[in-house]
Amino acid sequence: RTVYVNGSFVPEDEATVSVFDRGFLFADGVYEVTSVLDGKLVDFAGHCGRLRRSLGELQMTLETTDEELLAIHRKLVSENAIEEGLVYLQVTRGAADRDFVFPPEDTPATLVLFTQAKSLIDSDLANRGQKIFTVEDQRWTRCDIKTVQLLYPSLAKMEAKSRGGDDAWLVRDGLVTEGSSNNAYIVLGDGTIVTRDLSNLILHGITRRAVLECARHLQMKVVERPFTVDEAIGAVEAFSTSASGFVCPVIAIDDNRIGTGEPGPVAGKLREVYIAEMRKSAI
Ligand code: PMP
The count of domains in the chain is 2
pLDDT of the residue at 58: 98
Same domain? 107 vs 130: no
Give nearest CA residue, ligand 1 atom 4. 181
- How many angstroms is it from 96 CA to the middle of ligand 1? 29
Same domain? 268 vs 136: yes
253 contact partners, CB below 8 Å, separation of at least 6: 132, 133, 134, 169, 229, 232, 233, 238
For 104-113, b/e burial (b = at least 16 CB within 10 A) is eeeeebbbbb
Residue-range definition of the domain harbouring residue 214:
124-281
Same domain? 185 vs 245: yes
> Which ligand 1 atom is nearest residue 46's CA?
15
Residue ending a domain, among 117, 140, 169, is 117
Give the C-alpha separation, 101 to 163, whole Å: 41
The single-letter code of the amino acid at 22 is R
pLDDT of the residue at 72: 98
Taking residue 142's Cβ as centre, other Cβ atoms within 10 Å add up to 13
pLDDT in tens, the chain (283 residues): 999 999 999 999 999 999 999 999 999 999 999 999 999 999 999 999 999 999 999 999 999 999 999 999 999 999 999 999 999 999 999 999 999 999 999 999 999 999 999 999 999 999 999 999 999 999 999 999 999 999 999 999 999 999 999 999 999 999 999 999 999 999 999 999 999 999 999 999 999 999 999 999 999 999 999 999 999 999 999 999 999 999 999 999 999 999 999 999 999 999 999 999 999 999 9
169 alpha carbon, distance to own chain's centre:
14
> Which ligand 1 atom is nearest residue 32's CA?
8
Active site residues: 146
- How many angstroms is it from 207 CA to the middle of ligand 1? 8
Same domain? 106 vs 135: no
Through-space distance between the first and last CA atoms of the chain, rounded to whole angstroms: 22
Same domain? 161 vs 36: no
pLDDT of the residue at 261: 97
Pocket test for ligand 1, best of 31, 171, 183, 200 (most atoms within 8 A of CB): 183
Same domain? 91 vs 152: no
Same domain? 128 vs 95: no
pLDDT of the residue at 148: 98
pLDDT of the residue at 274: 98
> Which ligand 1 atom is nearest residue 153's CA?
3
Same domain? 53 vs 139: no
Q: What is the DSSP string of 187-209?
A: E-TTS-EEEPPPSTTS---HHHH
Same domain? 173 vs 158: yes
Same domain? 158 vs 276: yes
Contact 244, 123 (CB under 8 A): no
